[in-house]
């Protein structure tokens, strides 16, 4: 695996690829890699000649400076995992390389989807996500961008940004990879102590409860029950929402047909966990 720190160097490498090796798959990450990230590398390798991964803890997407300061960094282990997975290039820029001094950041028109859920609780977060992904896509110019469904709303936001900024780049979304006990893998899980790690399971239990119990009609009580369940297990809940899977519009009365997604964001002490689950239609 070739490790590159500078944009110009990465462009040189990619320009020099033989024409028979020109289908590039790109997996952007913030590091502290786990099997969720590596599943995206495998997915990219299956269909593409060359796989580029980036590791960059993007400051503009953190609305909480403590979260940024405590974001785990495990670069040696990350390099080992990417090498094992057969990744071809790792782009590892410094902050100044992606945000040159005196450069002003773009603003993206993202509409309704930026105002809800993560957008509501983390103001400015999705602007920061779009700024960095837009810059990385312009640099790598991949055939396909690979993202994880674990960040459901982020996938929709980036898809929206790409329709105007990068209409020719494809998007592939990989399934959420979970620990054996069901906890969605996340770099932030490293910050959980032993007690919190056990409590963390309650997130998927709450989502599975919704998945099992949902039926056509009013879904408000189900949301309340799931919220109470998490609160009774030591969480501070930002949201539990049941929404249309294609628009993220909250659903109050379900017709039993519209595909739904249940989404959750909740704090276990200082660590904020998010997860989601697709809810199957009936009949
Ligand atoms: P991050 O490093 O958290 O910014 O994530 C980088 C990419 O990996 C994003 O597209 C995430 O959605 C994806 N990802 C993170 N966790 C998982 C997971 N458990 N399963 C699948 N993809 C994931």
Are the C-beta atoms of 176 and 149 separated by less than 8 Å? yes
Q: What is the DSSP string of the chain?
A: -EEE-SHHHHHHHHHTS-GGG--EEEEEE-SS--HHHHHHHHHHHHH-SEEEEEE---GGG-S-HHHHHT----HHHHHHHHHHHT--EEE---HHHHS-TTPPPP----GGGGTSTHHHHSTTHHHHHHHHHHHHHHHH--SEEEEEGGGHHHHHHHHHHHHHH-TTSEEEEEPPPB-TTSPBP-GGGGG--HHHHHHTHHHHHHHHHHHHH--SEE-HHHHHHHHHHHHHTTEEEEEEEEEETTT--B-SEE-S-S-EEEEEEEEETTEEEEEEEEEPPP-
The CB of 125 under 6 Å from ligand 1? The reply is no
> Angle at CA 242, nearest 5°, toward 270 and 266?
5
251-260 mean pLDDT? 95
Query: Ligand 1 mean position to 10 CA, how many Å?
Result: 23
pLDDT of residue 21: 80
Question: What is the pTM (predicted TM-score) of this model?
Answer: 0.97
Ligand 1 atom nearest the C-alpha of 185 is 19
Of all protein residues, the one whose alpha carbon is nearest to atom 18 of ligand 1 is 36
Query: Ligand 1 mean position to 53 CA, how many Å?
Result: 12
The CB of 176 under 6 Å from ligand 1? The reply is yes
Best probe residue, ligand 1, of 29, 42, 175 (max atoms within 8 Å of C-beta): 29
Of all protein residues, the one whose alpha carbon is nearest to atom 8 of ligand 1 is 37
| Contacts for 4 with CB less than 8 Å, ≥ 6 apart | 10, 13, 89, 90, 91, 92
Give the pLDDT confidence of 61-72 residue by residue, as tens digits.
Answer: 998 899 999 999
Q: Residue 173: phi, psi to the nearest 5?
A: -110, 125
Of all protein residues, the one whose alpha carbon is nearest to atom 22 of ligand 1 is 148
List, by residue number, the catalytic residues.
37
The CB of 185 under 6 Å from ligand 1? The reply is yes
End-to-end, the C-alpha distance of the chain in Å comes to 49
> Residue 282: pLDDT above 80?
no
Give the pLDDT confidence of 163-212 residue by residue, as tens digits.
Answer: 999 999 999 999 999 999 999 999 999 999 999 999 999 999 999 999 99
d(CA 215, CA 135): 43
The CB of 186 under 6 Å from ligand 1? The reply is yes
Query: Where does the pLDDT of residue 280 fall: very low under 50, low under 70, confident under 90, or very high at 90 and above?
Result: confident
Of all protein residues, the one whose alpha carbon is nearest to atom 10 of ligand 1 is 147
Give the pLDDT confidence of 87-128 residue by residue, as tens digits.
Answer: 999 999 999 999 999 999 999 999 999 999 999 999 999 999
The CB of 177 under 6 Å from ligand 1? The reply is yes
Query: Ligand 1 mean position to 213 CA, how many Å?
Result: 28
Best probe residue, ligand 1, of 29, 37, 52 (max atoms within 8 Å of C-beta): 37
Query: Ligand 1 mean position to 283 CA, how many Å?
Result: 32
251-270 mean pLDDT? 96
Give the pLDDT confidence of 179-193 residue by residue, as tens digits.
Answer: 999 999 999 999 999
From residue 242, how far is each of 46, 97, 262, 279, 280 by CA, in Å? 33, 40, 4, 9, 12
The CB of 36 under 6 Å from ligand 1? The reply is yes
The CB of 188 under 6 Å from ligand 1? The reply is no
The CB of 187 under 6 Å from ligand 1? The reply is yes
């Amino acid at each position: 695996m070739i490790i590159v720190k500078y944009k110009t160097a990465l462009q040189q490498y990619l320009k020099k690829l033989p024409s028979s090796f020109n289908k590039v798959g790109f997996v952007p990450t913030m590091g502290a890699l786990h099997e969720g990230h590596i599943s995206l590398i495998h997915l990219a390798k299956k269909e593409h000649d060359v796989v580029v991964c980036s590791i960059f803890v993007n400051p503009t997407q953190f609305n909480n400076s403590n979260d940024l300061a405590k974001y785990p960094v495990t670069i040696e282990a990350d390099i080992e995992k990417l090498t094992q997975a057969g990744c071809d290039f790792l782009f590892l820029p410094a902050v100044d390389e992606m945000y040159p001094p005196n450069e002003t950041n773009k603003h993206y028109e993202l509409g309704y989807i930026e105002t809800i859920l993560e957008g509501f609780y983390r103001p400015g977060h999705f602007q920061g996500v779009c700024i960095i992904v837009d810059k990385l896509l312009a640099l790598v110019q991949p055939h396909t961008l690979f993202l994880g469904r674990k960040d459901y709303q982020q996938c929709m936001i980036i898809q929206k940004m790409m329709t105007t900024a990068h209409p020719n780049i494809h998007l592939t979304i990989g399934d959420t990879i979970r620990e054996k006990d069901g906890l969605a893998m996340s770099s932030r899980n490293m910050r959980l102590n032993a007690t919190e790690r056990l409590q963390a399971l309650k997130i998927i239990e709450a989502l599975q409860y919704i998945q099992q119990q949902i039926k056509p009609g009013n879904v408000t009580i189900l949301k309340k029950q799931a919220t109470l369940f998490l609160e009774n297990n030591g969480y501070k809940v930002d949201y539990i929402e049941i929404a249309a899977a294609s628009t993220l519009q909250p659903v109050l009365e379900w017709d039993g047909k519209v595909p739904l997604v249940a989404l959750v964001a909740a704090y276990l002490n200082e660590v904020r966990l998010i997860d989601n689950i697709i809810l199957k239609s009936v009949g």
